[in-house]
Amino acid sequence: MPFTPDSELDLLFPAELISLEVKNQLHQDVHVRPLAATDYRRGHLDVLSVLTVVTDPGEEAWVAQFHAMRALPLTYYMIVMVDKNTDVIIGVGTVFIERKFLRGLGSVGHIEDIAVDKKQQGKKLGLRIIQVLTGLSENSGCYKTILNCSNDNIPFYQKCGYVQKENEMAKYAPKEHVQSPRL
Ligand SMILES: CC(C)(COP(=O)(O)OP(=O)(O)OC[C@H]1O[C@@H](n2cnc3c(N)ncnc32)[C@H](O)[C@@H]1OP(=O)(O)O)[C@@H](O)C(=O)NCCC(=O)NCCS
């Protein structure tokens, strides 16, 4: 597929919010932009499957989820790295902004779902994704940006400038209680 420029896409948030400094450090064959409404067809879920088991909801439900996220302004920032030669997605990442009553009505950026296509790993794409997401978080006024990761990935996040802090706790709901949110 030929490369699709941002001007022809329906994007999750304005592309101008992405750091130019990081954009300029990418290889000329790689483009970073917000998630687009048609990215289901560019392999968005294939890249996420590098991270965990992905259940494909089908394109219609995927697009409905995209619009549900966009309906919450200034909250969801999902980015993708695209191979300009193929128009296929090779890296993904999300930061969502949590508003608080603490810290003078402050906000916290939560980084989630970072994945780079297996064949593209080791080329600093992961680092650039984290730099873009951290920039989006800080430009949203967040006083900190946080994430959870496996022990194996601690050195990667340290290379991205993150430090280890506290612990993660989790409680999974019984399967029969888990429902998709109404779109
Ligand atoms: C983790 C992941 C996002 C890293 O992306 P990547 O593009 O391969 O990493 P980069 O090339 O940007 O690496 C940046 C630096 O971190 C280092 N690094 C990356 N992963 C590492 C790891 N697991 N252990 C140690 N160092 C690591 C790289 O060597 C590089 O170091 P350098 O600057 O000294 O050369 C990618 O491997 C991936 O998608 N993994 C599977 C999904 C996953 O685990 N996601 C994270 C969920 S928390």
pLDDT bin (cut points 50, 70, 90) of residue 1 is confident
At 182 the pLDDT is 61
Listed by start position, the domains of the chain span 6-177
| Cα 161 to ligand 1 centroid, rounded to whole Å | 13
**Alpha-carbon gap, residue 138 to 140, rounded angstroms:** 5
Q: Which of 156, 158, 162, 168 to mutate to test the pocket of ligand 1 (most atoms within 8 A of CB)?
A: 156
Across 50-59, average pLDDT: 96
Atom of ligand 1 nearest to the CA of 117: 39
Residue 181 pLDDT greater than 80, yes or no: no
Task: Round the average pLDDT of the chain to a whole number and report it.
Answer: 96
CATH node for 6-177:
3.40.630.30
Ligand 1, atom 37: closest residue by C-alpha: 121
User: Which pair of structure tokens corresponds to residue 97?
Assistant: 């902004």
At 141 the pLDDT is 97
At 183 the pLDDT is 57
